[in-house]
């Protein structure tokens, strides 16, 4: 038995009300909201958060022996982005980390390759969608990440029972290197290409699995071509009651991350013995059929997609534009920071990327950061804390001023002054509970300075 052992989605907390676009630009917009990556988030940081949830949700002792990271908006070219994810997760040095970047289809390709391979693979997909102000892509897009642990044995919660692909070269959506937005050919052309490819892959996948369309309990059809997705969904022979919500009205379409986000949500709400069909339209069609196993009854997500969707907080359209770099706002009148030292970061990888403290040789208390005389390693990334005090700094450099710094007392010992994120000053109080999240402090000379911040705890419906 081979398939998915654990899965997770990560939805940023910021939400843009689409109606705000119309009031600002005079066109575009629409109804509902879309998810927005904060100024200190990118596809790498979102991928880390999704992977952390997937690993926390996995059975004890499950650790990947490979990491594959897929995105169409990589933070680096030439340099591997997956290595930062690897470092933040504190994976063993012999676990290879590879990027599969550039095309939306690469994400489902990574998942499909993993389930057809051997070993335990952590597949991470992440996307940050944007477009010109007032455009359809801007309004309908969304930012998110997802992760799945693929493996064998009794821990598999969803077994792959059939998969087929159909491929054809055609230019429907494209973006050249350096372009900030995607371009799209006339919609009817894409529909005429996608529908026969989707039909073909669907029929062949059902035949390979030995099932019929009415055996499918949950149907997920994903893709950036909304018209083709709607048309194909209606002709696959699966009733509307089995067609999964694509979350487009709440988080939008997160592109490369959408298939695994929706698959994760289906697994979080499924029972044993159910057939879940994942259909992805992107430069062809890919169909993956899963059947949930008895193991799903004992699997529980550490943080569900629905909980994260419900926790959204509105962000003004102007702030969204400034976070995207479309609108330049007045920065604090302080020098921008210098680029981070590669040699220093390399010497302190466990602290900088893994948030691993030390232990005081005198008291045994956690030391943050670890001092030269520290003994042992104390992983702190999953430890919650309490705000002892905080201050608002409107002078220090920040891509999105002001900065809120807090002194955090961690559960079990350890105190650290640290930057807060995903929080407004008006909502903060001393005594608030916070959790750690992997973020980007700033970028200088093209080098991203990743570290950890604290944010208000999001309580799951699971407790």
Let me know whether 107 and 236 are in one domain: yes
368 in any annotated domain: yes
Q: Give the integer Cα–Cα distance in Å for 459 and 144.
A: 19
Clarify whether residues 249 and 373 are in a common domain: no
Residue 200 forms part of a structural domain:
yes
Which pLDDT value is given to residue 401? Answer: 87
Distance CA 53, CA 424 (A): 24
Q: Give me the CATH number covering residue 49.
A: 3.40.47.10
* Euclidean distance between CA atoms 22 and 4, whole angstroms: 42
- 349 in the same domain as 303: no
Same domain, 208 and 274: yes
Per the CB < 8 A criterion, the answer to whether 223 and 281 are in contact is yes
Which structural domain range is residue 393 located in? 342-456
**Residues 256-299: pLDDT tens digits?**
999 999 999 999 999 999 999 999 999 999 999 999 999 999 99
Count of C-beta atoms within a 10 Å radius of residue 196: 13
User: Per-block average pLDDT, block size 10, for the chain (463 residues)?
Assistant: 97 97 91 97 98 97 96 97 98 97 97 97 97 95 98 97 97 91 93 98 98 98 97 96 97 98 98 98 98 98 97 96 90 83 92 96 93 92 98 88 95 96 92 98 94 91 57
The reply to whether 238 and 303 lie within a common domain is yes
The answer to whether residues 363 and 440 belong to one domain is yes
- Same domain, yes or no: 362 and 393: yes
Domain assignment present for residue 337? The answer is no
429 inside domain? yes
Q: What is the pLDDT of residue 81?
A: 98
Same domain? 272 vs 400: no
Contact 416, 366 (CB under 8 A): no
Claim to verify: residue 167 and residue 214 sit in the same structural domain? yes
The answer to whether residue 462 is domain-embedded is: no
pLDDT of residue 461: 64
Does residue 331 sit within a domain? no
Residues 40 and 113 in one domain: yes
């Amino acid at each position: 038995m081979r398939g998915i052992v654990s899965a997770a989605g990560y939805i940023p907390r910021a939400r843009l009300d689409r109606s705000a676009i119309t009031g600002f630009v005079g066109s575009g917009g629409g109804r509902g909201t879309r998810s927005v990556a904060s100024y200190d988030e990118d596809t790498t940081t979102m991928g880390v958060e999704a992977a952390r949830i997937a690993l926390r949700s996995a059975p004890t002792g499950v650790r990947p022996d490979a990491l594959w990271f897929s995105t169409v908006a990589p933070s680096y070219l030439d340099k591997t982005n997956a290595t930062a994810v690897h470092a933040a997760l504190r994976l063993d040095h012999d676990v290879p980390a590879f990027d599969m970047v550039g095309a939306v289809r690469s994400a489902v390709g990574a998942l499909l390759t993993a389930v057809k391979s051997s070993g335990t693979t952590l597949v991470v997909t992440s996307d940050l969608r944007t477009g010109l102000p007032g455009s359809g892509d801007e309004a309908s897009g969304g930012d998110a990440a997802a992760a799945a642990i693929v493996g064998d044995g009794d821990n598999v919660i969803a077994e792959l029972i059939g998969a087929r692909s159909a491929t054809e070269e055609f230019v429907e959506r494209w973006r050249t290197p350096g372009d900030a937005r995607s371009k799209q050919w006339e919609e009817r052309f894409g529909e005429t290409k996608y529908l026969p490819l989707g039909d073909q892959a669907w029929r062949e996948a059902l035949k390979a699995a030995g099932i019929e369309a009415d055996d499918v309990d949950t149907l997920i059809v994903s893709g950036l071509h909304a018209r083709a997705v709607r048309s194909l969904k209606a002709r696959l022979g699966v009733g509307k009651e089995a067609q999964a919500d694509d979350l487009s009205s709440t988080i939008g379409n997160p592109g490369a991350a959408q298939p695994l986000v929706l698959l994760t949500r289906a697994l979080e709400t499924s029972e044993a013995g159910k057939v879940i069909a994942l259909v992805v339209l992107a430069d062809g069609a890919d169909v993956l059929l899963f059947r949930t196993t008895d193991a799903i009854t004992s699997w529980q997500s550490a943080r569900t997609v629905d909980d994260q969707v419900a926790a959204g907080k509105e962000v003004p359209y102007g702030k969204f534009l400034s976070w995207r770099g479309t609108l330049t706002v007045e920065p604090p009148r302080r020098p921008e920071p210098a680029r981070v030292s590669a040699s220093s970061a390399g010497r302190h990888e466990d602290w900088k990327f893994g948030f691993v403290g030390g232990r005081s040789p005198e008291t045994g208390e956690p030391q943050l950061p670890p001092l030269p005389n520290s003994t042992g390693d104390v992983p702190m990334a999953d430890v919650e804390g309490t705000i002892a005090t905080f201050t608002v700094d409107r002078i220090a450099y920040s891509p999105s001023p002001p900065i809120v710094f807090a002194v955090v007392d961690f559960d079990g010992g350890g105190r650290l002054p640290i930057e807060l994120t995903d929080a407004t000053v008006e909502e903060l109080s001393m005594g608030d509970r916070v959790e750690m999240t992997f973020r980007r402090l700033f970028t200088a000379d093209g080098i991203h300075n990743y570290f950890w911040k604290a944010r208000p705890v999001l309580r799951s419906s699971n407790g």
